[in-house]
Amino acid sequence: MATPPPNPLRRFLTATEIDTRMLGMIGALIAIWISLHIASGGVFLTPRNLWNLSVQASSIAVMSTGMVLIIVTRHIDLSAGSVLGFTAMMMGVMQAEWLPGIIGYDNGMTWVIALVFGMGIGALIGAFHGYIIAYMGVPAFIVTLGGLLAWRGAAWWVTSGRTVAPMDETFRLFGGGTMGSIGAFWTWVVAGVISLAILVSLILARRQRSRFGFPKRPIWAELFLALAGCGIAFGAAAIANAYPWPRRVTERYAEAQGIVIPEGGLHYVHGFAVPVLIALGVGVVMTLIATRTKFGRYVFAIGGNPEAADLAGIDTRMVTLKIFALMGILCAIGAAISTARLNAATNAQGTLDELYVIAAAVIGGTSLGGGVGTIMGAMIGALVMQSLQSGMVLMGVDTPLQSMVVGAVLVFAVWLDTLYRKGKA
Amino acid sequence: MTPLVEMKDISISFGGVHAVEDVSVDLYPGEVVALLGHNGAGKSTLIKILSGAYKRDAGEIRIRGEAATIANPRDAKSYGIETIYQTLALADNVDAAANLFLGREIMTPWGTLDDGAMEAETRKVMGRLNPNFKRFKEPVRALSGGQRQSVAIARALLFNAKILIMDEPTAALGPQETAQVADLTQQLKGEDLGIFLISHDIDDVFELADRLAVMKNGKLVGSAKVTDVTKDEVLGMIILGKCPPGATPGPGAASAEELAGILP
């Protein structure tokens, strides 16, 4: 007797191989967006707000990708915000105070040196944490709790609490804003490149399956995935391109460039912001690291069963050290984005960021039990967190109440994770 | 003939407790040597020294007559020593292929994981071991006890093991799967592998092993060919440490006076 045909939704999910958890998260994001849109009286789902949202979420999204790997291996990093603060301060001092004396102001290399310097420091701090955790056996919770205090103190100590400003002209592009966006033409190009990459990867995956004679997805499922991927890329581009420059900025720009403003006014649009592109780039690279490299495979194996990983001959301590070093680098990238956005480095920068980063990873489906989590999920998690926050700002909710809601959502997400795991077991 | 493995005067202690003390065992190609003893007698600890999970405090390991340095599981694997652990030691959250190749992944020319090649190889091995196995895409957690066992065995066999350690290989299995493991053991013996078998089940040991070694309180009571001793005598070795005439006594064998004190 044939098995009864499964319901259409289940068949769709099996054919497309979309993770139910991921689908649930995207559904939750859409639900949150629509409710916030209605609750805020129709100002949430506007190009301007969505554009701002994407920029504000970038720094947390970048760091959350590293937090996934840390939580997957059953560790935690409470020091992310403080490491961000310290590396931000170091990058700020480097470009605003040290480099001008050596290579002069407005040197084209300033931003490169500052960024590489910050990422190097981040890597060292992370490796240091990782060394204490992996080789000296101190729990990550304690090491990074110490780091939370120590690096915040260090950030203050660099300039005795003085705020460092302004940042290098090119470096500031990391922060987005009108100038830190790539404009209409390049936004379409980026959307085209992303779509092409999606198509190529789908075709390659299909060819790989043919090569080994594995079951393939039905053609309609492949088409659906291709269309959905390209649709999202071009949809996002269209939204980013629907957010025009403010009139004042356009006029100033026209004046500076010597452009005569034609009748009916000049129309420039923002397009994708640089920090968003950085976050997307980090997401792609981290996904490749997590799913296509030995290192990533070991991270998940350790998370599933640390002893088994050890017995399989994996150098689990070195992997742990590398995970934390990677987190340090990502904190520095997050620091570059937030420093550039503020156009200043302050010793309070990134305060409480660790909690948002952890929340983003957990809301994005990273299981605190270890072994489970995706980079894309964490980035969507960051978007959910930022949506809630900016939605509440639009609705005029008081700041203390915002924190309470965010806290409650975090606990709710972990509860859902617990339910999900019980159902699976 | 040189033994495949010689472990001489091996000792290890944890915080003052001598888990293994001056134990010597050897293993020849095409032979199954069973290790017997109570829980806590030191069998698993001894075997974990050979598989690189623990570092010995004293003693010598020779592989094919040459002194071997085994400081971690990677070293052991480089000598062709593969282990099927009692706990199976599988990474529960990844699929069968990832487990089989854990630590020895197949890479593409671009330095990325070649999951396709690994899955194809896994399908081949599993097809031989357990033709009913179809759940290649699921995390190992979702598999049944017998299926998980097949994955653990496949992993040990995939890389042409010369020395196989099986720690309670049938503890989690039903009768049919246990018979499969017995068949497999015979087949591997024919391929000149040396097998250390840790088991609680005396019947299993007499069926599968050529020789046996009994441990008690971390010491070797004695070793014997299975044909030279009876099941009752082996039980006497395990429980009392009494070495029968057919066996070669080790440092842990109880003396006549000790036995006189225990026996009426």
B94-129: pLDDT as tens digits? 999 999 999 899 999 988 999 889 999 999 888 877
Measured between CB atoms, which of B103, B112, B141 is closest to A313? B103
Residue B153 to residues A251, B126, B147, B170, B232: CA-CA distances in angstroms?
73, 10, 10, 11, 31
* Partner-chain contact B111 A293, CB within 8 Å: yes
Cα of A109 to nearest chain B Cα, Å: 31
Smallest Cα distance from B69 to chain A, Å? 15
Asked if the ipTM is above 0.95, the reply is no
Q: What are A290's two structure tokens?
A: 């997590």
User: Residues near A393 by Cβ (< 8 Å), separated by ≥ 6?
Assistant: A402
Nearest beta carbon to residue B119 from set A214, A305, A312? A214
In which region does residue A264 sit, left (phi positive, over 0), alpha (psi from -120 to 50) or beta (all else)?
left
Surface-to-core class of residue B245, CB atoms within 10 Å of its CB (0-12 exposed, 13-18 middle, 19+ buried): exposed
Contacts of B51 in chain A (CB under 8 A): 311
* Residues in CB range of B44: below 8 A, 6 or more apart: B86, B167, B198
Contacts with B154 from chain A: Cβ below 8 Å: none
Is residue B98 within 8 A of residue A303, CB to CB? The reply is no
State whether B102 and A314 contact (CB < 8 Å): yes
Each residue's pLDDT, cut to its tens digit, for chain A (425 residues) gives: 445 556 787 788 777 777 777 888 888 899 999 999 999 888 999 999 999 999 999 999 999 999 999 999 999 999 999 999 999 999 999 999 998 888 887 788 899 999 999 999 999 999 999 999 999 999 999 999 999 999 999 999 999 999 998 999 899 999 988 888 998 999 999 999 999 999 999 998 888 888 887 888 888 889 999 999 999 999 999 999 999 988 888 888 888 888 877 777 778 889 999 999 999 999 999 999 999 999 999 999 999 999 999 989 899 999 999 999 999 999 999 999 999 999 999 999 999 899 999 999 998 989 888 889 999 999 999 999 999 989 999 998 998 898 898 889 888 888 887 887 777 54
Count other C-beta atoms under 10 Å from residue A219's C-beta. Answer: 10
Alpha-carbon gap, residue B126 to B123, rounded angstroms: 5
The predicted model scores a pTM of 0.89
Q: Please tell me the predicted confidence (pLDDT) of residue A424.
A: 58
Three-state SS for A181? strand
Which residues, given as ranges, of chain B have pLDDT below 70? Answer: 172, 262-264
3-state helix, strand, coil in chain A (%, to 5): 75, 0, 25
Whether residues A297 and B102 touch (CB distance < 8 A) is answered with yes
Mean pLDDT of chain B: 88
Report the run of H or E that residue A51 belongs to, with start and end. helix A47-72
The answer to whether the CB atoms of A297 and B105 lie below 8 A apart is yes
Separation of alpha carbons B169 and B179, rounded Å: 11
Which residues are paired to B107 by β-bridges? B113
Residues of A in contact with B72 (CB under 8 A): 313
Q: Among all residues of chain A, which has the CA nearest to that of B140? A: A304
Helix, strand or coil, per DSSP, at residue A309: helix
Q: What token pair was written down for A251?
A: 């006029």
The distance of B184 to chain A (nearest Cα, Å) reads: 22
Residues of B in contact with A313 (CB under 8 A): 52, 72-74, 77, 103-104
Structure tokens of B57? Answer: 């405090």
All residues of chain A having their beta carbon less than 8 Å from the beta carbon of residue B141 are 304
CB-nearest partner of B103 from A212, A314, A371: A314
The reported pLDDT for the residue numbered A293 is 95
Per-residue DSSP letter, A245? P
Which of B94, B111, B117 minimises the CB distance to A301? B94
In whole angstroms, give the CA distance from residue A40 to residue A389.
12
Q: Give chain B as a 3 state SS string.
A: CCCCEEEEEEEEEECCEEEEEEEEEEECCCCEEEEECCCCCCHHHHHHHHCCCCCCCEEEEEECCEECCCCCHHHHHHCCEEEECCCCCCCCCCEHHHHHCCCCCCECCCCCECHHHHHHHHHHHHHHHCCCCCCCCCEHHHCCHHHHHHHHHHHHHHCCCCEEEEECCCCCCCHHHHHHHHHHHHHHHHCCCEEEEECCCHHHHHHHCCEEEEEECCEEEEEEEHHHCCHHHHHHHHHHCCCCCCCEECCCCCCHHHHHHHCC
Question: Is the Cβ pair B116, A208 closer than 8 Å?
Answer: yes
Rounded CA-CA distance A141/A158 in Å is 26
Residues of A with CB under 8 A from a CB of B: 208-209, 211-214, 288, 291-294, 297, 300-305, 307-314, 371-372
Q: Find how far residue A230's CA is from the centre of its chain.
A: 20
Query: Residue written as tokens 């020849």?
Result: B28
In angstroms, the CA B177 to CA B146 distance is 7
CA distance B128 to chain A (A): 18
Whole-angstrom distance, CA of residue B221 vs CA of residue B240 = 9
- Answer yes or no: do A307 and B89 touch at CB < 8 A: yes
The pLDDT score that the predictor gives to residue A250 is: 84
Chain B residue nearest residue A367, CA to CA:
B93
- Helix count and strand count (H, E) for chain A: 17, 0
Determine the pLDDT at residue A2.
Answer: 47
Write down the pLDDT at residue A67. 97
pLDDT at position B175: 79
Which amino acid does the sequence have at A286? M
Which of chain A's residues have a Cβ under 8 Å away from the Cβ of B91? Answer: 300-302, 304-305, 308-309, 312, 371
Quote the minimal CA–CA distance from A22 to chain B in Å. 17
Integer Cα distance of B240 and B38 in angstroms: 11
Best of B102, B104, B140, B165 to substitute, by most chain A Cβ atoms within 10 angstroms, is B102
Distance CA B216, CA B254 (A): 10
| Calpha distance A247→A34 (Å, rounded) | 29
Q: How far apart are CA B166 and CA B247, in angstroms?
A: 23
Cβ <8 Å between A300 and B92: no
Q: Which residues of A touch B53 (CB under 8 A)?
A: 310-311
DSSP state for residue A261 in the 8-state scheme: P
CA distance B99 to B103: 9
| Residue A138 DSSP SS3 | coil
Scanning the structure block, which residue is given the tokens 């088409």?
A: A223
Q: Count interface pairs A-B at CB distance under 8 A.
A: 83
Instruction: Give CA torsion, residues A167, A171, A176, A182, to 10 deg.
Output: 140
Q: Rounded distance, CA A93 to CA A265, Å?
A: 41
CA–CA gap between residue B79 and residue B59 (Å, rounded): 18
Q: Give a three-class secondary structure readout of B22-45.
A: EEEEEECCCCEEEEECCCCCCHHH
* Best residue of A211, A305, A317, A424 to probe chain B, by most B CBs closer than 10 Å: A305
CA of A307 to nearest chain B CA: how many angstroms apart? 7
Amino acid at A36: L
User: Is A312 within 8 Å of B53 when comparing Cβ atoms?
Assistant: no
Cα B12 to chain center, whole Å? 18
How close A314 comes to chain B (CA, Å)? 6
Give the pLDDT score at B212: 93
Dump pLDDT digits (tens) for B219-254: 999 999 999 999 999 998 998 888 888 888 888 887
